[in-house]
Amino acid sequence: MRIEPKILLLLALLSLLSACIDTSSEPQSGRLQVVSTVSPITNIVYNVTGDLVDLTGLVPAGADSHTFELAPSDAVTLASADLIFINGLDLETSAMRMAEANLKDGGEIILLGELVIDPEDYVYDFSFPEEAGSPNPHLWTDPIFALEYAGIVLEKVTARDPGNADAYQANYDEFAARIEALDAAIQATTASIPAENRKLYTYHDSFAYFAPRYGYTVLGAIQPADFSEPSGQEVAALIEQLRSGAIPAIFGSEVFPSQILEQIARETNAEYVSTLSDDDLPGDPGDPQHSYISMMVENLKTMADVLGGDPALMDGVETGNVPGPDTSVNQ
């Protein structure tokens, strides 16, 4: 049978077009497709899974996890995911809605925070008042809770990919050892800070679970519950409170820059430090120091430095990622 020249030309063009399509972003057959949200959680997942899965973090470094809105294109990523790790406790509402709307058959959404603590243990505070309905979601600033997150990740990926169970377990065991060393160093560093100085006054209230673990008192947070800037009347009340409370330092955040903090520090003679972080990892993805543990080490060094303790007590903590730099994570 004779094939028309026009048909032959069309077939040739289709073949050429197919060859030019970039398939590098398509899921690799046989590998788990794993999605997570904020950088610390993505990093915890990475420390358990390494490059044995295709891992995508949805919330970019430096973004405000409370107000960040996903792009429509993220629906494609979520629709291909086998496992979606979300902190929960109303932190990532945009991601939660999109994950539920695009969950594939057999896909699973894991709400880490809600698996780790019970409702009676939720903390409601300055940035997260109980009348607003959502508890403080920053469990991971407590390293022991972060380790519990890692344990849930281990359980979920092992169930889906038993062929790599030994590797996942080995990664988890090493991560657990590093978390235990981090915990011990935080305790020692905190002990070096005079008891009367173990006070945290922050812009955004991120250390509600960290503080009771290690013996700090959270005196307050400057940012209102709706994540706006405080009013002039609120600022005046804060200044009065700080003057009467002998606060040595006010802690800001790289994610929440605020000139109001500088004003409050000047009027209360408190030292203003802007580098505490609850979800922005040091460095860039792929850097050796781009890790959850490194973030916590830098936080404790900052606290100790301005509160009268010994930051050098954190120097012995291994801050790298167990599988090495996170070059395999899509962010």
How far is it, in rounded angstroms, from Cα 124 to Cα 221?
A: 12
Locate the domains of the chain by residue range.
33-181, 193-314
Q: What is the DSSP string of 163-192?
A: GGHHHHHHHHHHHHHHHHHHHHHHHHHHHT
Report the pLDDT value the prediction gives residue 76, as an integer from 0 to 100: 96
Q: What is the pLDDT of residue 231?
A: 79
Whether the per-residue pLDDT at 18 is higher than 80: the answer is no
pLDDT tens sequence across 144-188: 999 999 999 999 999 999 999 999 999 999 999 999 999 999 999
pLDDT > 90: what percent of the chain?
61
pLDDT band at 257 (very low <50, low <70, confident <90, very high): low
Q: 130 has which bridge partners? A: none
What CATH number is given for 193-314 in this structure?
Answer: 3.40.50.1980
pLDDT band with cut points at 50, 70 and 90 for residue 255: low
pLDDT at 25 exceeding the cut of 70: no
- 97, pLDDT greater than 80: yes
pTM of the model: 0.87
The number of angstroms, rounded, from the C-alpha of 114 to the middle of its chain's C-alpha atoms is: 15
CATH fit for domain 33-181, picks 3.90.700.10, 1.10.3720.10, 3.40.47.10, 3.40.50.1980? 3.40.50.1980
